[in-house]
Amino acid sequence: LLRWFERAGRHDLPWQHPRTPYRVWLSEIMLQQTQVRVVLPYFERFVAALPDVAALAAAPLDEVLALWSGLGYYARARNLHAAAALCVERHDGALPRDFDALLALPGIGRSTAGAILSQAWGERIAILDGNVKRVLCRVHAVEGWPGAPAVEKRLWTLAEVQLDGVPEGRMADYTQAQMDFGATLCTRHDPACVLCPLQDACAALRAGRVHELPTPRPGKALPRRQSLALLLRDADGQVLLQRRPPAGIWAALWSLPEHGDHAQARAWFERHADGNYDAAETLDEIAHAFTHYRLTLQPLEWRDVRLRAAVREDDGLRWVAAADLASLGIPAPIRTLLEAQLTPDRAPSPQM
């Protein structure tokens, strides 16, 4: 695997030069459930703004979420921010070089802690991300869904046993090699078995079961939810945003007021705004898939709206100009909608 990595692995990723604990940590969190090509511009922008643990800890959460906006799974950004604050509080502003101390930080699990220790400090410690699970299931013909506790336990054992063959001083390369191998060669679909350096040892290949392993997660249809998104604009063209709750989907991000049906939406509108609810313009629906359900948002737009005198901006509401949207953490589909609707030369849609 190391010989393959030397000629075919990825050696010029930005977090490898320099390979500091902070940069490794940030990359590992960003790469959770996200491909390298997607992460690259976000990583560069993030470290340019917040180059170390102290800068991250000192930054307002809104700035962190704005830098993360569009990358998804926003709990990762909130956990990064909280973990940085704990590093300042407990570890003199540095990421700890201790497995248990790393594991105690928000957002860092067993595999992420191992990836940080092995890449930043060369510690001989296993990882078990999705790519590694796939490779181990195929090479060792491991049956069962890898997320099941018993199967995952066996995979951890295999991952740790294989550390015995890693030469001294090569743990960072070996950790990166495992991830690169699963991401570029032993892929989920259409793995390049003819090029595989492990083909002689692969039990799944010998048995003709490469496409059967790993065993898929037991399937079930994702539930569907529908909601109304209220896009209110004032006389200056600013849009009204609402801070979402600190837990749940899009937690702590700024978004449009959202309600489950017209009765709830009307009640909220009439309580907060001077205007006619029935004058709303119906915009194109937005479809968005989460891990556990699919959401369809129906945006409704009003212009020249004023808030009632009793409504205060510190109630979780604020007017935001189009030029200021980039400074806030906003869910990607909502940002796309706002950028389209707030374009200065956009012609008004006909009222129906």
Phi, psi (degrees; rounded to nearest 5) at 252: 70, 0
Q: How far apart, in whole angstroms, are the C-alpha atoms of residue 231 and residue 211?
A: 46
| CB atoms near residue 263 (< 10 Å) | 9
Q: How far apart, in whole angstroms, are the C-alpha atoms of residue 101 and residue 116?
A: 12
Q: For helices 130-139 and 171-184, what crossing angle results, to 10°?
A: 80
Long-range contacts of 196-205 (CB under 8 A, 24+ apart): 197/1, 197/3, 197/4, 198/1, 198/135, 198/139, 201/139, 202/138, 202/139, 203/138, 203/139, 203/140, 203/141, 204/137, 204/138, 204/139, 204/141, 205/138
> Which residue shows structure tokens 């915009």?
283
| 65 close to 253: Cβ distance less than 8 angstroms | yes
Please confirm, yes or no, whether 28 is among the known catalytic residues.
Answer: yes
The residue from 6, 28, 212, 339 that is catalytic is 28
What would the two tokens of residue 332 be? Answer: 């990607």
Q: How far apart, in whole angstroms, are the C-alpha atoms of residue 90 and residue 338?
A: 41
Kindly list the catalytic residues.
Answer: 28
